[in-house]
C-alpha cells in the first residue's frame, strides 16, 4: 500500500523479480478492503495514505482478526512513531529511504515466521528449496523450474500436509485481475509432478491437493 507511483513501481518490480505475486493499493480504503480478502500473505504499508491513514488501516485489520504479517514502510522514522506502529499491530517497521534487497529479505522473513519456518531453505525428504538463491534440488541434482512452478512449489512447501484447494492456489499464484484458464493449475501441477516426483503432490478428490 503506497500512494507514490514511482516508489510503488520500484517496489513492485523488485518483488516480482524475487518471485512474489504483487497487488497494489494507493488509497487507504482500497488497501483495507484488499487486506480483508484473506488471501494476502503479507502487506507493506505506508502510513501517509489518502482516505484512510495507515495506522487506522492496521488497527482496523487487527480488530477484524486479520493476522497477516504487516511491514510498515514510511518516512516517519522517530522512535515514538516506530513504537506506535508496532503497538498498533505491525510486525516490522522500515524507514524511508531504504534498500530494496533489505525490504525483500524482511518480507521473506515475516512470511517464513508466519508459516512457522525459521530457516531460508525449505526441505521435505530429498527435496529442498532455497528461498534466497531460488535453487531447487532433488537430492544433489539441481531442478530447473519456471517462475510459476517455483511459486507453486514454494507455496506447497510452506503448507506441508495441508490440503490446498485449486482456488487457493490460483489466488496466491496470480494477481487478482489477471485472466487465467480453468485448467491452468492442473497443467502446472502435472509439470511439477514430473520434475519433483508424482508421489509428492497427492490429489484429494473434491478438495484439492496435499503436498507431502
Q: What is the DSSP string of 1-68?
A: ----HHHHHHHHHHHHHTT-------SHHHHHHHHTTS--S-EEE-SS-SSS-HHHHHHHHHHTT--S
Separation between Cα atoms, residue 67 and residue 70, nearest integer Å: 9
Q: Are residues 17 and 99 in the same domain?
A: yes
Q: Which residue's C-alpha cell is 524507514?
A: 95
Residues 77 and 156 in one domain: no
pTM: 0.70
Q: How far is CA 51 from CA 48, 64, 105, 165, 174, in A?
A: 9, 19, 30, 35, 27
Place of cell 489518502: 50
Domain span at residue 102?
5-114
Q: Are residues 82 and 161 in the same domain?
A: no
Q: Are 153 and 94 members of one domain?
A: no
Phi and psi dihedrals of 205, rounded to 5? -55, 125
pLDDT reported for residue 182: 55
- Which of 119, 72, 79 has the alpha carbon at shortest distance from 98? 72
Beta bridge mates, 81: none
39: pLDDT strictly greater than 90: no
Answer whether 185's CB lies under 8 Å from 166's CB.
yes
Do 38 and 94 lie in a common domain?
yes
Q: Are residues 130 and 157 in the same domain?
A: yes
**Residue 96 has which C-alpha cell?**
524511508
Read off the pLDDT of residues 77-102 as tens digits, 9 standing for 90 and up. Answer: 888 999 999 999 999 999 999 999 99
| Contact in structure between 200 and 127 (CB atoms under 8 Å) | yes
Question: Does 57 share its domain with 134?
Answer: no
| Statement to judge: residues 97 and 140 lie in one domain | no
CATH number for the domain that contains residue 195: 1.10.10.10
pLDDT of amino acid 171: 80
pLDDT in tens, 129-169: 998 888 999 999 999 999 889 989 999 998 999 999 988 88
pLDDT in tens, 167-207: 888 888 877 666 555 578 889 999 999 999 999 999 999 99
Amino acid at each position: 500500500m503506497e500512494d507514490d507511483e514511482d516508489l510503488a513501481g520500484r517496489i513492485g518490480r523488485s518483488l516480482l523479480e524475487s518471485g512474489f505475486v504483487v497487488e497494489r493499493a494507493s488509497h487507504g480504503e482500497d488497501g483495507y478492503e484488499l487486506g480483508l480478502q484473506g488471501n494476502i500473505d503479507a502487506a507493506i504499508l505506508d502510513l501517509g495514505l489518502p482516505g484512510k491513514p495507515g495506522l487506522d488501516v492496521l488497527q482496523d485489520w487487527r480488530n477484524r482478526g486479520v493476522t497477516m504479517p504487516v511491514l510498515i514502510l514510511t518516512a516517519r522514522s522517530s522512535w515514538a512513531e516506530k513504537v506506535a506502529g508496532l503497538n498498533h499491530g505491525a510486525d516490522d517497521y522500515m524507514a524511508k529511504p531504504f534498500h530494496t534487497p533489505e525490504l525483500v529479505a524482511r518480507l521473506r522473513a515475516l512470511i517464513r515466521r508466519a508459516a512457522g519456518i525459521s530457516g531460508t531453505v525449505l526441505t521435505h525428504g530429498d527435496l529442498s528449496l532455497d528461498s534466497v538463491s531460488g535453487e531447487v534440488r532433488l537430492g544433489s541434482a539441481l531442478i530447473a523450474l519456471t517462475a510459476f512452478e517455483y511459486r507453486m512449489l514454494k507455496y506447497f512447501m510452506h503448507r506441508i500436509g495441508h490440503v490446498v484447494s485449486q482456488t487457493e492456489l490460483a489466488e496466491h499464484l496470480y494477481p487478482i485481475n489477471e485472466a487465467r484458464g480453468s485448467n491452468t493449475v492442473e497443467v502446472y501441477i502435472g509439470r511439477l509432478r514430473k520434475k519433483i516426483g508424482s508421489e509428492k503432490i497427492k490429489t484429494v478428490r473434491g478438495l484439492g491437493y496435499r503436498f507431502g
